[in-house]
Amino acid sequence: MKNNKGTASNALFLRPKEWIVILILVTSIFIGSPIISKRSEQINDSNYRIPYRLSNDYWSYTQLTSRLSEKEIPIIGDSVIWGEFVDNNSSLSHFLSDLSDRDFTNAGMNGLYPLALEGLIKNHAKSIKKRKVILHLNLLWMSSPERDLSTPKEQTFNHSQLIPQITRKVPSYHAPIEKRLSRFATNSVPFLSFVKHVKENYFLQRSPAEWTCLQSEANPDQYPNTYLNPLNQLLSADPLSIKDQLKISIKNTERGVNSSRHKPWSGSQRSLDWISLNNSLQWKAFKNLSTELLSRRNDLFVLIGPLNGHMFNEMTASKLNQLRDEASEWLKSMQIDHWSPDPLPSDHYADASHPLTHGYEMLAKELLKNKSFTDWVRPQ
C-alpha cells in the first residue's frame, strides 16, 4: 500500500498475495455456482424439452444432457425434433417413449441447423458419450445457398454463437472480430455460459441492471421493475410468474392441437434450389458432428427427414431423393445405422419439415416397425 500513497483515488489496491486469494476464491465461485444452481433447478418432467424462451440458453442444454440416465436415448436435432407446432407431450421423443419400453429424451432445440448443432454438441453437450444417440438430419438446410449459409451476402440467423467463430469461415457470417471473440469465450468457458443462463432465465435475456430499467409493453410509460431488487429475482422459484404479474410479455408462440398454428399444410407445390452435398457447409457440419459423436464412442442412429415431399414439384422431389441417397451412402460408408422414411401424408405436416401431432405419432410407429431401428434400439 505504501507504494501507492498519493497516487490512488481509492483504497482498492491489492498486494500480490491478496490477488492470489482473490483468484482462488473467484475460481471457486466460477466452479461452484453452476453446480449449486444445477441442484436448485431440477427437471422433473419426463416430457421435458428446453423451453422456447430458453432457446438460446446453452447452459440449460448442458444440464439436460448431463442429467440423462444410462437408459435414456437422446434425440438430437433442430425444431423438427423439438416440435415447433406441438406441445411437450406430442413430440417424437414422447411418442417413442410411449410406444416402446425405452426412454427417449427430447434433446432438440428450436432454431438449430447442422452448423449450430455441431457447435452445440461439441461445446455444450460434452457429457453425451458412450451412449445410444439418435441424430436427426434435416435436408431442408441444404435447399438453397442462403439456408446453407454459403452465400457471401451477410445474413442474420439464429444461434450464430454456436457456429465456428475463428477456426472456419462461414461466408454468410460477417460478425466483427470482437463479437467472434466474445462468442468464442462464451462457448469455451462454462461459467460464461452459466452467466448467460442466469440472464436468460431470470432477467429476460438482460443484465440485472437492464432488467430494472425494463419498459412495460402494456404501458410504455411504466417501468415495473424500477423498485425491485434484482437479487430477489435470483432467489425466486419461478422467475416467470413474477414477470407475468408485471405484465412484461414473454415472446412465446402457441403450440399444440388446440392452437391456431396447429393445422395441416395446404398450398401449391414449390421448387427449391438444392445445393449439392459436396458444396454444402451444412452437410459438412453434419458429417463433422457424426464423426464427433462416433469419436465419443456413441452408438449412433441417424434419422433422415422425412420432409414433406408433397410440397415439392417433380424436379425438386427428385433432387431431394438424390441428396437422400447420397447422405445414406455416406452414412453406410461410416457404418452408421440410419433410416430414411418416405414422406408422411401431407396433412400430417404443418410445413416443409415439421410434422403435426399425428405426424409425430405416425413417425414413431413407423420407426418402431423399422428393423434397423428396432435392432439398434434393443439393449445389448
Partner 1 sequence: MLFHTWTFFCFFAVVLIGLMLLRKTPFWVHWILGSSYFFYGWWNYYYLALIIYSTSLDFFIVRQMERPGARKKLWLWISILNNLSLLGFFKYADFFISNINGLTGLNLSPASEIMPFGLEYLLPVGISFYTFQSMSYTIDYYRGKIKRETSFIRFAAFVSFFPQLVAGPIERAKNLLPQFHKFPKIKRQDIAAGSSLFIVGLFKKLALANYAALYVDRVYEDPSSANGASLTLATFAFAWQIYFDFSAYTDMARGVARIMGFKLSLNFKNPYTSASLSEFWSRWHISLSTWFRDYVYFPLGGNKKGTKRTYINLLSVFIISGLWHGAAWTFLAWGLVHGAGLTAEKALTNVKFTKIRLPRWVKITVTFLLVCAGWIFFRSRSIDEALIVYRKIFSLEWNDPQFPLFLLLMIGSVWIYQLIFESKMKKILTENWIRVPLLIGMIIYLFFCSSEGDQFIYFQF
Q: End-to-end alpha-carbon separation of the chain, Å?
A: 67
352 binds partner 1 (CB under 8 A): no
The answer to whether 368 and 374 are in contact (CB under 8 A) is yes
* Binder of partner 1 out of 51, 111, 171, 230 (CB under 8 A): 230
* Binder of partner 1 out of 48, 52, 191, 265 (CB under 8 A): 191
For the CA atoms of 153, 169, 196, 251, the dihedral, rounded to the nearest 10 degrees, stands at 30
177 binds partner 1 (CB under 8 A): yes
19 binds partner 1 (CB under 8 A): yes
| Closer to partner 1 by Cβ: residue 182 or 370 | 182
Closest Cα partner for 337 from 364, 367, 307?
Answer: 367
Distance of closest approach, residue 183 Cβ to partner 1, in angstroms: 9
Residues 6 or more apart from 338 whose CB is under 8 A from it? Answer: 301, 302, 303, 304, 328, 331, 332, 372
| Phi/psi of residue 289, nearest 5 degrees | -65, -45
Distance of closest approach, residue 195 Cβ to partner 1, in angstroms: 5
3 binds partner 1 (CB under 8 A): yes
Closest Cα partner for 293 from 34, 73, 60, 55?
Answer: 73
4 binds partner 1 (CB under 8 A): yes
Distance of closest approach, residue 19 Cβ to partner 1, in angstroms: 5
| Closer to partner 1 by Cβ: residue 167 or 380 | 167
167 binds partner 1 (CB under 8 A): no
Residues 6 or more apart from 164 whose CB is under 8 A from it? Answer: 115, 119, 170
206 binds partner 1 (CB under 8 A): yes
DSSP-derived 3-state class of residue 135: strand
* Binder of partner 1 out of 198, 281, 300, 364 (CB under 8 A): 198
26 binds partner 1 (CB under 8 A): yes
| Closer to partner 1 by Cβ: residue 208 or 256 | 208
DSSP-derived 3-state class of residue 1: coil
Other C-beta atoms closer than 10 Å to the C-beta of 276 total 12
11 binds partner 1 (CB under 8 A): yes
Count the alpha carbons within 13 Å of 359 in the hemisphere toward its beta carbon: 32
* Residues in contact with partner 1 by the rule CB under 8 A: 1, 3-4, 7-16, 18-19, 21-22, 25-26, 29, 177-179, 181-182, 184-185, 191-192, 195, 198-199, 206-210, 212-213, 222-223, 225-230
